[in-house]
Amino acid sequence: MIKHLNTVWLVVVAMILGMIVIYPEWLTRESISQLLNQLGSMALIIYVLMSLTRSLLLIPCTPFVLAGAISFPQWPFLVFAISLAGVVVGAFLVYSFPSFGSYDSLLEEKYPEKIANLKSKMQHKNAFWFVVGWSFFPLVPTDAVCYVAGVAKMSLKKMLTALLLGELPLVAMYVFLGAEIGEWLRI
């Protein structure tokens, strides 16, 4: 069974991603928030688990951050901390275990030119600032730059520091604006 773990995991990820393509409304901030609200007292624990494991399915953190801000408006700093922990855990997993779930093959096959371009940027002296900028830009997958940083042998500490510098303002904006939007929608 261990021999086929990557294959099983890849099939599970493909099935979940297929379901998300078929039913994109499952991955909106509203649907995640609604699910959390239905869970009652277990909602915060489930939210923490979802935030920490979402990168295993290559799901962006944005819907989870916004859903947390809407679901837990009374605890914006806790949602902020959970969201950043999710970003760091996700980055660490993608950086440290690029072949887990065959993500390396998936990314290399799907985006060969982009991965090659990213690798060359990771070899440059400005790689740190490249990761900061990439992490700050909300329309690109942060997991991709973390994967390439790992493959290019950028130090984990340097990559995580750059990632946090880029993600901090973005996550803060999502959390605090998300809470405001959530309050406005409850009127």
Which tens digit of pLDDT belongs to each residue from 92-118?
A: 988 887 666 566 677 677 778 877 887
Domain that holds residue 130: 2-185
Q: Which two tokens stand for residue 28?
A: 């909106």
Residue type, 101: G
Q: How far is CA 154 from CA 73, 78, 89, 131, 158, in A?
A: 37, 30, 17, 10, 7
In the numeric block, which tokens belong to residue 130?
């490249």
| pLDDT tens digits along 149-187 | 887 888 899 999 999 999 999 899 888 887 666 556 553
Residue 125 DSSP code: T
The total number of structural domains in the chain stands at 1
Question: Does the predicted model carry a pTM greater than 0.85?
Answer: no
DSSP 55: G
Comparing 109 with 24, the larger pLDDT belongs to 109
User: Which residues does 93 contact at the CB level (< 8 Å), separation at least 6?
Assistant: 55, 56, 100
Residue with the bigger pLDDT between 156 and 17: it is 156
Report the C-alpha gap between 23 and 18 in whole angstroms.
8
pLDDT value of position 2 = 47
pLDDT score for 29? 63
Q: pLDDT: is 36 or 79 the higher one?
A: 79
Instruction: Say what the pLDDT of residue 82 is.
Output: 94
